Structure formats: structure tokens, C-alpha cells
Chains A and B, each alone.
Chain A
Amino acid sequence: MKIIACIKQVPDSEAKVRAEDRKVSWGESPLVINPFDEYAVEGALQQKEAQSGASSSLSTVTALCIGPESAREALKHALAMGADDAILISDPALDAERLDTLGAARLLTAAIQKIGDVDMVMFGRQTLDNGAGITPAQTARLLGWPMLGLSGQIKVQDGNVSVERVIEEGRQTVSAKLPAVLSVVQSIGEPRYPSFMGIRKASKANIPVWSLSDVGASAPEPIVKRTELMNPPVRDTAVEIISGESPAEIAEKLADKILAEKVL
């Protein structure tokens, strides 16, 4: 089985977003693999492991990412977790500001078709930076494959994939024929740490870069354009720690404060 895990590189979860010159700025914050996508890699590796017992043909996991050169680091993380290969889609003509979810889906689709014979494509449920969560569905639509969103436990059997979803009313199991696109959620299990074997492999890996012409695509144009970007108004806040001998005394002081400040 050939499994693709689509991953994105995003600013660390502690990063603060600011509007600067009408552009999104994450400051100097470190870039990491989108935490939701670590679950996609985990899910893909679980399937690879499940299949290597069940079928005689070799299963592989390929991590796929659109991004600048720096995004290699995110791919290396996936390799260190255990992915077999990684491919970076990168091109000077690609402008992150102008690449919307549909544009990304088009490029991923082109790359998945170029890879060929893919059985399953895994995504995280959303990204930490944009958070739209629709790239998986758009990719499925472009590929013409079924889309199983928000998947928990995954089972592949006889060319079918069935996934469990936790919904408000309880549990739901849905299934579809392979090839299929899945987006996975936390209930798939905590992403494994990189192993030392993976780290050794990842640090020596030569990750191929596919340009737009390699995948036969032109630079996507956004369909919705951002015309304005502003920072929220600054609010003055102060933190005060209220202490006291006993919880009752602390509560009393707190109540007095709340009344004095006319919060209530």
C-alpha cells in the first residue's frame, strides 16, 4: 500500500501573529511541522505497520509538503518519525501569501498523480496558521476520490477503508473504497517521537524538490483575495495575584476587588 502524508510547516504554537505592512507576520518564531499533521504521519505509519503484517507487498509512507526550502525541516521530522520518503514541492514562483487552500490542493493533487498508484492520502484536521481545514476535501474532490474526514481509528481490508468517528451522539463508522483521502484527528493516538534510527536517516536524507513544472502546474491564483489586514485594538490588562492565609480570605479579597472595580 502506498500512503501519502501531507504535511505543512507552520509557526510554533507559541508564536504571535501580527499584521505588518498588511502582511501576516509571525515574527522570529521557530517553524515546526503542523502539530495536527503529526497525527497524519502517525496514522499513516500505523497503517503501514498494520499492512506489513497483513499483506506481502511492501507498504510505504511518503511525506509531501508544499513550502519554501525551510520546510525540509518539517519533512525531516516526518522521516525521523518513520516515513520512508519525503518530497518537497517548492518553486520561486510560489508565493505563500497567494497560495490558498484550493491552490494547495491543486498542487498536492498534481504531485499525488505524479507519484502514482497511491492508495491513501492522509491529512491533519487543519493547520495551526490558517486553520481552514478544507484542503483535504478539496484534494479529494480534485482527485475524484472519496473523502473520509475527521477519522479516528482506521482499518483497511480488501480494498476498503473504514474509519471511526467520535461524534456528539456517539460513534460512527464510515467506509469507502480505496483510493481515498482521509483527515485524521487526535483519537488516532499520540504521534510517536522521532526514533534515533529515524533521526539518523532523516539527517542524511536527500529530499527531492519538485518545481511547478515538475508537477505540471502553473502558480495558482487565489480565488478570494485579502484586501485588508489589521491588528486587533490594544487592550490594557494587568495581572494581580491575590494571596491570603486561607481560601476563604482569598475569596473575600477577590470579591471586594471585583466589587471595587465595578466588574459586578
Chain B
Amino acid sequence: MDFSLSQEQQMTQKMVREFAQKEIAPVIKEYDRKQEPIPFALKRMGELGILGLPFPVRYGGAGMDYVALGLACEELEAVDTSLRVVMSVHTGLCGMTVLQWGTEEQKQKFLVPLARGEKIGCGAFTEPGAGSDVAAMRASAKRDGDSYILNGEKMWISLAALADLALVTVKTNPSARKPSEGLSCFIVDLHSPGVRRDDIHGKLGVRAGSTGWINFQDVKVPADNRIGEEGEGFKITMSAFDHGRYTVASGATGMIRACLEASVSYARTRTTFGKPIAEHQLIKEKIAKMAQDHEIARLLYLQAGWMQNMGKRNTLQTSYAKKFATEASFSAANEAIQIHGAYGFSDEFDVERYLRNSKGAVIYEGSSEIQVLIQSGYALGERSDKPLRCELPAYDETYWQG
């Protein structure tokens, strides 16, 4: 078994790290405090090709593999969660889902501008009244000739205020036998008449990220924008979550690393009772836990990334990676503050931001409780992977880079 990263993967990691450290790290505190997205972040990520990292060159992407995507997310979230959230929703929820389920025409029309960073995408599933219970959503679309008419409200949508396109799941058949069979997915141009949207303020974390609501009132969406068949919306949404969760897992791994690095450097210099606190056993224990969690989280997401490269379904493995890494990042951030003592309680250091940012990830993209349901479902034999009409294509270097 070969655990080494390819040259391409290593160079990707280094390039994304340099970008995040050089351009984002110096300003992140300012924008987090102001609760505003860093104005140049999306543009730079687009120019540098990061937004289209795992997409084939023929679709405007960088031609890298899914492991490289994970490595990039790890580097981005080691600096700030808001950057990784962009990858989760633009690249993961929206772009990768079009790559998996879109027709060739839809890939040309939507994936190409997304991959080039000319258009920003997001994924809109959650509603004021329905999150974990996706099938309970109320937003709807009715067929009207060559179009659908969309109505309803989506909430807690990352990049709601900044995106150009949204992958939106709505109810198209209210009388379906099972609610999950009545859903369909659309790519909606958020500049269409009848779309209103704005940011939500007062969030605990990801304050330099845009999170908001989108309201659809009689929004006309061409039938050509429907991704998949009518009634396939639930399956497509679950695929989108597989992609999003993978980026969340790899990103949270980066946050654990950031907590570890901050803690090691502080523990070496802060002295109490005549020695650096790094020499106290109780502090060593916290640091060892972070180091071990980082290793486990990394192995879990790399496994999921490898499975994607191979074209293997990875819903379960991605769920393991997502739950483990996000919970471990929350605990690492909590302990990192403890190690920093009172200084950790102040925004002079980064660790308080890490804690605030880490909490969201145990809620979104399937809360920890939902991950438990998924994992126990597989373990108890209540759930198994059925072949999908469209699978995420395996990474094929020749095709991707051709």
C-alpha cells in the first residue's frame, strides 16, 4: 500500500498553502471581526484555478484529482473556514454534482463557468422548517411548458448573497408515494426575476463567510436546467452531500492541524512553575490527542479521496471522515484555547476563531447525529449502496488533463 502523495498533489498542497498564508492569513482577523467576506478571496481563488481544482481541463477545471481537492481544503481551512466553505458549496455541492449528474450540455453550460471561477455556485437545500429531514422541504416547482415555476424559501445557504448559480432541490410531486420521491434538482440563475436573497448576521462562527437566505417567488427556470430526472432530487442531493462532506472532512483536518501548531508553539514559550507548559504532562496529553486526531482525520479523508479517484462509492467512508474530523476539530480548538489560557479567550490569538468556526461543521452537511444514523444503518444492514443512474466519474488522468 502506497501512502505517498504524487508530485502533483504535493505541488497543489504547497501552492494552496502559500496562497492562504500569504494573502488570507494577514487579513482574516479584520474581516472576521467585521463579519464580512474577504472581498478579493473568491476572485483570487478563481484566478488561481482553486475553485475548479478537481474538474477536467475540458470543462474549464485544473485537472487535478479528488485527493488533491482534499489537500487543498486542508490547507484552506488551516487558515480560515470561510475559504473551505467556498470549496464545499461551489466546488463540492454545486460543481461536482453537475459533473456527476449533468448532461454534456449542462456541463458545458454550468460546469465550465463554475470551474473557471467565472460564475460562483452554491447548494440550496435547507429551509426554515427543514434541515436534516431533507424530504420534508416545502419549496416547490411546477412544470409550465418549457419551464418550471419555483416558489419557496431556502435558509442557511452558504454564499447565498454572492453566488450566481444555485443547485436547488425542491418538491415537484407533492403526492409522491414517499416524500423523498417527489423531489427534483435545478440549477437556478440567482439573478433571475423573483429571486431575493441576503446574508444572515450574528453567526457564532464563519463570520468572514457569507451565509444567508434565498427566497423564490414565481421564478421561471428553464426545464433544461433540471439536473437529472424529475423525482431524482433526493438521490442527487445525497450525492451532493457526499461531495460536500468530503471537503468538510478534509477542511476540518486542516483546522486540527492549525490548533496543534498554535498549541505547540504557545506551549513551548509559555512558562509556569518554572518550566514551559509543554513540559507538564497534562498539556502533553492535550497535544498528543490533537496530533493523533490529525493523523486519523487525515487517513480517513485520504481514504475517501482515494475511493473517489477509483470510482468507488464512499458515502460511508466519507461519513466516517466527516464526523470524526469535525468533532475532533471542535475538541482540538477547545483544548487549544485551554492551552493558551486567558490569551486563548481573546481574538488576539487565532484559537478562539477556530472554536467558533469548528462548531458549524458538526451541524451542516449532515449533523453528527445524522452521520450516526448513516453509519449505524450500514452496520446494521438497514442500508446499502444501490447503483446510481449517474456515478461520480473515477479520476482518469488522461481524460481529466486531455
Q: Which residues of A contact B (CB under 8 A)?
A: 76-77, 80, 193-197, 199-200, 202-203, 239-241
Binding site for A on B (CB under 8 A): 6-8, 11-12, 14-15, 18-19, 48-49, 53, 62-64, 269-271, 401
Q: Are A193 and B269 in contact (CB under 8 A)?
A: no
CB within 8 Å for A239 and B269 given contacts A193-B48, A203-B6, A203-B8 = yes
Most chain B CB inside 10 Å of its own CB: which residue of A77, A200, A202:
A200
CA of A240 to CA of B269, assembled, Å: 9
From B6, B53, B269, B271, A196 is in contact (CB under 8 Å) with: B53
Question: Is the beta-carbon distance between A199 and B11 smaller than 8 angstroms?
Answer: yes
Q: How many angstroms from the CA of A6 to the CA of B6 in the assembled complex?
A: 26
Verify B269–A194 contact, CB threshold 8 A.
Answer: no
Q: Is the CB of A196 within 8 A of B7?
A: no
Contact at A196–B64, with CB atoms within 8 Å? Answer: yes
A194–B16 Cα distance when bound, in Å, is: 10
Asked if B269 contacts A203 (CB within 8 A), the reply is no
CB-defined contacts of B7 to chain A, threshold 8 Å: 76, 202-203
- B63 in contact with A194 (CB, 8 Å): no
A200-B115 Cα distance, complex, nearest whole Å: 17
Contacts of B63 in A (CB 8 A): 196, 200
**Shortest beta-carbon distance from A190 to chain B in Å:** 9
Asked if B11 contacts A194 (CB within 8 A), the reply is: yes
CB nearest neighbor in A for B18: A193
Min Cβ gap A256→B in Å is 19
- Which residues of chain B are near A240, meaning CB under 8 Å? 271
Closest to B8 in A: A203
A194 (CB) vs chain B CBs: closest residue: B15
In the bound complex, how far is the Cα of B64 from the Cα of A240, in angstroms?
Answer: 47
B125 CB to nearest chain A CB (Å)? 30
Kindly provide the distance from the CB of A220 to the nearest chain B CB, expressed in whole angstroms: 31
Q: In the assembled complex, how far is the CB of residue A202 from the closest CB belonging to chain B, in whole angstroms? A: 7
A182 and B8 CA atoms in complex are apart in Å by 31
**Quick check: B8 and A200 within 8 Å, CB to CB?**
yes
Contacts of A200 in B (CB 8 A): 8, 63, 401
Q: Which residue of chain A has the shortest Cβ distance to B12 in the bound complex? A: A199
> Which residue of B is nearest A81, CB measured?
B15
Apart from A76-B7, A199-B8, what 20 extra A-B contacts exist at CB < 8 Å? A77-B11, A80-B11, A193-B15, A193-B18, A194-B11, A194-B15, A196-B62, A196-B63, A196-B64, A197-B62, A199-B11, A199-B64, A200-B63, A200-B401, A202-B7, A202-B11, A203-B6, A203-B7, A239-B269, A240-B271
